[in-house]
């Protein structure tokens, strides 16, 4: 009798432990491995495709693939992508007419990030052919976050170093369209959320959301696979 009672108690305790574990798993799924700004990488299928809208872009409008790129001009990992990976993607795919890259804002570091994002829209409106050179120049001058390097005055000084951009026009556009640019920046962030983007740099291409400053080889693998499906 004692042995039977001990067995029954053990079974009841076991069921309680298992049930508790299942309940804990249901409410605490754990970390998914998604990357923050540091970017540990990975991709996942997403149903909501971004739109180009009035965002800056480089490449042919008829390119078979579009890479959407969310960034913050003060993000050091965005600077890594812009200086180490983006030029190679431009040479290999954009210049060949197979890839278009659309730049979208995901501003979160500080007020100067908002200023830089607004100026990027003004530069795009004033001199779209010089946009890529301007963005590369800004990232080349990046310093510590919220250190003042991306103030309006400093960004205008950087803009003056890029041939073909009228700084007076850029300044006027920032004043006249400040609310329009602010709304566009907010819309980019909202669209990023819908497309599975939660940190910078973040990317979306052909149904996949990609997190982090991945190496060139990673993007080459993804792009080549997507081109093979065209």
Model confidence pLDDT, tens digit, residues 73-88: 999 999 999 999 999 9
The two tokens of residue 42 are 């990975």
For 184-213, how does the pLDDT look when each residue is reduced to its tens digit (9 = 90+)?
A: 999 999 999 999 999 999 999 999 999 999
Q: How far apart are CA 122 and CA 167, in angstroms?
A: 10
* pTM of the predicted model as reported, rounded to 2 decimal places: 0.80
Position 109 scores a pLDDT of: 97
For residue 63, name the pLDDT band (cuts at 50, 70, 90): very high
Strand partners, 67: 101
Where do we find the tokens 């790129």?
Answer: 69
**Which of 8-12, 116-120, 125-129 is predicted with the least confidence, judged by mean pLDDT?**
8-12
Q: From the CB of residue 129, how many other CB atoms can be counted at a distance below 10 Å? A: 9
For 30-53, how does the pLDDT look when each residue is reduced to its tens digit (9 = 90+)?
A: 222 233 333 335 554 445 789 998
For 140-182, how does the pLDDT look when each residue is reduced to its tens digit (9 = 90+)?
A: 999 999 999 999 999 999 999 999 999 999 999 999 999 999 9
Position 46 scores a pLDDT of: 46
All residues at 6 or more sequence positions from 5 whose CB lies less than 8 Å from its CB, including other chains: none
The two tokens of residue 151 are 């103030």
**Does the structure show a pLDDT above 50 at 127?**
yes
Give the helix/strand (H/E) hosting 140.
helix 131-140
Position 37 scores a pLDDT of: 37
Looking at per-residue pLDDT, the higher value among 100 and 36 belongs to: 100
For 4-40, how does the pLDDT look when each residue is reduced to its tens digit (9 = 90+)?
A: 433 333 333 333 333 333 332 222 222 222 333 333 3
Residue 220 burial by CB count (10 A; 0-12/13-18/19+): exposed, middle or buried?
middle
Position 200 scores a pLDDT of: 97
> What is the pLDDT of the chain when averaged over all its residues?
84
The two tokens of residue 116 are 């830089």
Average pLDDT over residues 126-135: 98
């Amino acid at each position: 009798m004692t042995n039977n009672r001990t067995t029954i108690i053990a079974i009841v305790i076991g069921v309680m432990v298992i049930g508790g574990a299942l309940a804990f798993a249901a409410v605490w799924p754990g970390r998914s491995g998604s990357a923050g700004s540091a970017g540990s990488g990975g991709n996942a299928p997403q149903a909501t495709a971004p739109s180009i809208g009035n965002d800056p872009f480089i490449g042919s409008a008829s390119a078979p693939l579009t890479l959407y790129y969310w960034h913050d001009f003060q993000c050091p990992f965005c600077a890594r992508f812009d200086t180490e990976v983006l030029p190679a993607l431009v040479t290999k795919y954009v210049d060949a007419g197979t890839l278009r890259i659309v730049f979208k804002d995901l501003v979160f570091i500080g007020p100067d990030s908002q200023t830089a994002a607004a100026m990027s829209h003004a530069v795009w409106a004033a001199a779209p052919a010089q946009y890529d050179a301007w963005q590369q120049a800004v990232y080349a001058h990046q310093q510590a976050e919220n250190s003042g390097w991306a103030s309006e005055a400093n960004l205008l000084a950087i803009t003056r170093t890029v041939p073909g951009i009228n700084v007076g026009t850029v300044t006027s556009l920032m004043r006249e369209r400040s609310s329009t640019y602010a709304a566009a920046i907010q819309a980019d962030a909202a669209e990023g959320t819908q497309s599975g983007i939660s940190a910078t740099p973040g990317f979306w291409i052909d149904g996949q959301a990609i997190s982090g400053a991945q190496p060139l080889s990673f993007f080459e693998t993804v792009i080549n696979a997507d081109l093979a499906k065209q």
